[in-house]
Amino acid sequence: MNYSQPYWNPILETLPRKTLRALQLKKFQRIFRWAYTHSKFHRALYQTAGVAPEDIRTLDDIRRVPTVEKSMMRQIQGKDPYPYGDALCVPLEEVTVYRQTSGTTGQPVYQPDTWQDWEWWAECWCYILWAQGYRPSDRVFIPFGYNVFVAFWAGHYAAEKLGCEVVPGGVLDTKARILKIQELRATALMGTPTYILSMAETARLKMGIDPSGLCVNKITCAGECGASIPSTKRRMEEAWGAKVYDHAGATEIGAWSYECAAQPGGLHVNEAMFLVEIIDPETGQVIDAPGRRGKMVITAFDRQALPCVRFDSKDVIEWAAEPCTCGRSFRLIRGGVVGRADDITKVKGVLIAPSAIEEVVRGIKGLGDEYEVVVDKTGDAETIRLRVEVLPEAQDQCAWIQSELEDQLRLKTNLRYDLEICGCGTLPRYEVKAKRFKDLRGKKSE
């Protein structure tokens, strides 16, 4: 086998755009018909909208198909066929695995998959890992709690499928994981940016181990957008002496995008497996031009038990202007997922994405990796407080750091913050998805 082949699928990943669009139409027609004929929930939704499988003749016709939101999936679950409700497209006995969403935005959504769906999940991840240079010679350490959350399960299966040696770092604590990475000379890691940084900090400060001296040469991140935030990516790469790659996926969708080895400052959408539409939240029109942000509506072409057809993900993305130098014809989204429509909020009349604050904090030398943002309201006055940690070696530069932080925040987010400089190690640490942005407005009893 040719391990220097740069593409997991040299045909689909380099398909001319016209052929790729034709393939997407064919695959959309197929999954739409599947959902229409196998799911009571989907059929009722489509009949109400007056659209049937035979109406989808062109890619433009796809806009007639109503979108599905997470709240709709919450409403149908807990009913028969229990617990998934009537969107389930296969007999219950064909479901081989249960997962659920993390519940970041409310009640977790249940996700059934058949064995074929699970093969598909791993297949999508194979595109990611191969593009990021994973090969059978890699020993991949996965420091993840192997539980009801999909997280790195599919990454594990995909790495096995590629032929890598996988070390499941399940119930070990952080120190034990670092020792195991060291002992086994693991060459690759998967984790959330939060945890990758936290592991490096633990290794350095609590164990006297320099992570960049270990054998890890590549890290695949998921679960948070940090690996696409330049300052966060840089911190991880410097800490571990490794290339850090981003990927975006979701429990209800699948692993739909990946950063390639060229690190083009964005993620390739796997357009052979998914149809991504960017929708202008104001007008509802599709955005095809690069550089304009909108929310992502996405279809997974080959997921059967609980189809994902025009799912309104609330992820905020934009198309990149230039194609990638890697040769893939799959389009790039610039800067990865830049936020969630739910997260982008107005403070003091200014729209703000939490990722913009992270970019500033992680870009200032002397600040630790952790931070916390608290938005509150007293009377009519809104406040935004930013808590940061200054590293022990930078304690004598506090005044400069504070001034730089104020300037950068004003420049990048157009807001003035109440800053709080905390001692190193005082802010909360997270192992999976961090909750650093706290909006207390409307949460207090009046």
Partner 1 sequence: MQPTIDMDRLHQNIQTAHRAVAEIKRLGEDFPSVARNAERMLASLKMLEINVCDVIELGGMHREDR
Check residue 435 for interaction with partner 1 (CB under 8 A): no
Q: Nearest approach, Cβ of 22 to partner 1 (angstroms)?
A: 6
What's the CA angle centered on 196, arms 393 and 368, to 5 degrees?
25
Q: Nearest approach, Cβ of 24 to partner 1 (angstroms)?
A: 10
Check residue 12 for interaction with partner 1 (CB under 8 A): yes
Interface residue with partner 1, options 55, 61, 119, 382 (CB under 8 A): 119
Q: Which is nearer to partner 1, 158 or 317 (CB)?
A: 158
Query: Beta strand pairing status for 254-258 and 247-250?
Result: antiparallel
Check residue 65 for interaction with partner 1 (CB under 8 A): no
Q: Nearest approach, Cβ of 270 to partner 1 (angstroms)?
A: 11
Check residue 231 for interaction with partner 1 (CB under 8 A): no
Interface residue with partner 1, options 302, 318, 370, 372 (CB under 8 A): 302
- Tokens 């409307």 -> residue: 442
* 3-state SS class at 371: strand
CA dihedral 120, 192, 177, 425 (to 10 degrees): -170
Please give the Cα distance from 245 to 129 (Å, whole number). 10
Check residue 303 for interaction with partner 1 (CB under 8 A): no
Task: Identify residues 21-40 at the interface with partner 1 (CB under 8 A).
Answer: 22-23, 26-27
Task: Identify residues 97-116 at the interface with partner 1 (CB under 8 A).
Answer: 114-116
Asked if 43 and 161 touch (Cβ cutoff 8 Å), the reply is no
Interface residue with partner 1, options 16, 208, 379, 442 (CB under 8 A): 16
Q: From 13-21, 70-78, 142-150, 203-211, give the range in contact with partner 1 by CB under 8 A.
A: 13-21
Q: From 15-23, 42-50, 133-141, 241-249, give the range in contact with partner 1 by CB under 8 A.
A: 15-23
Check residue 120 for interaction with partner 1 (CB under 8 A): yes
Please, which residues have CB within 8 angstroms of residue 67's CB and are 6 or more apart in sequence? Answer: 297, 310, 311, 312
Task: Identify residues 260-299 at the interface with partner 1 (CB under 8 A).
Answer: 272-273
**Tokens matching residue 148:** 């009801």
**Tokens matching residue 263:** 């690190």
- The DSSP symbol for 108 reads P
Q: Which is nearer to partner 1, 56 or 203 (CB)?
A: 56
Check residue 328 for interaction with partner 1 (CB under 8 A): no
Q: Which is nearer to partner 1, 58 or 283 (CB)?
A: 58
Sequential DSSP letters for 286-314: B--STT--EEEEEEETT--SS---SEEEE
**Tokens matching residue 193:** 């940016």
Asked if 218 and 243 touch (Cβ cutoff 8 Å), the reply is yes
Check residue 383 for interaction with partner 1 (CB under 8 A): no
Check residue 11 for interaction with partner 1 (CB under 8 A): yes
**Tokens matching residue 270:** 């796997």
Judged by CB under 8 A, how many residues of this single chain contact partner 1?
23
For residue 443, give Cα distances in angstroms to 233, 403, 417, 439.
33, 32, 21, 8
Please give the Cα distance from 4 to 239 (Å, whole number). 28
Please give the Cα distance from 299 to 312 (Å, whole number). 9
Check residue 14 for interaction with partner 1 (CB under 8 A): yes
- Tokens 């390639």 -> residue: 260
Q: Nearest approach, Cβ of 9 to partner 1 (angstroms)?
A: 5
Q: Which is nearer to partner 1, 199 or 255 (CB)?
A: 255
Q: Nearest approach, Cβ of 264 to partner 1 (angstroms)?
A: 20
Check residue 123 for interaction with partner 1 (CB under 8 A): yes
Q: Nearest approach, Cβ of 116 to partner 1 (angstroms)?
A: 4
Footprint on this chain of partner 1 (rule: CB under 8 A): 2, 9-12, 14-16, 19, 22-23, 26-27, 114-116, 118-120, 123, 272-273, 302
